[in-house]
C-alpha cells in the first residue's frame, strides 16, 4: 500500500506493509512526525487524513491519532501540517 505523508511542507510517499499503524510507517521511513506516548493518550501524533481510510476514522473531522490508525485502503494521504501541534 502507498502512504503519502505531508510533514513540514514536504510530501513523502512510502510503500508500507499492511498491519502497521501510520506512526510506525512514518518512523520506519525515517520521517520525523510528532509523537510522545505511542499509546493514543496524548494526541501529539494527530494528523489529518486527506484521502483514504484508517481504522480510526470515527468522526467527520478526519483527524486521527497516527499511533493508533492502521490504513484500511490501498492509498492513504496523511497531513501532519493541517493539525495544530499539542
Residue 60 is predicted with a pLDDT of: 80
Cβ atoms < 10 Å from Cβ of 83: 18
Residue by residue, DSSP assigns the chain as -EEEEEETTEEEEEE--TT--HHHHHHHTT-----SSSSSSS-TTEEEEEES-BTT--STT-EEETTT--B-SSEEEEEGGGS---
Residue 85 is predicted with a pLDDT of: 74
Q: Is the CB of residue 29 less than 8 Å from the CB of residue 66?
A: no
User: For the chain, which residues score pLDDT lower than 70?
Assistant: 58, 86
CATH classification at residue 48: 3.10.20.30
- What domain count does the chain have? 1
Residue 73 is predicted with a pLDDT of: 95
The whole domain housing 44 covers 2-82
Residue 61 is predicted with a pLDDT of: 86
Residue 7 is predicted with a pLDDT of: 97
Amino acid at each position: 500500500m502507498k502512504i503519502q505523508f505531508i510533514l513540514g511542507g514536504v510530501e513523502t510517499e512510502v510503500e508500507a506493509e499492511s498491519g502497521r499503524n501510520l506512526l510506525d510507517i512514518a518512523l520506519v521511513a525515517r520521517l520525523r512526525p510528532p509523537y510522545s506516548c505511542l499509546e493514543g493518550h496524548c494526541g501529539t501524533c494527530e494528523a489529518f487524513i486527506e484521502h483514504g481510510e484508517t481504522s480510526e476514522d470515527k468522526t467527520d473531522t478526519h483527524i486521527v491519532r497516527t499511533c493508533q490508525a492502521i490504513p484500511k485502503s490501498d492509498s492513504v494521504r496523511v497531513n501532519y501540517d493541517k493539525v495544530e501541534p499539542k
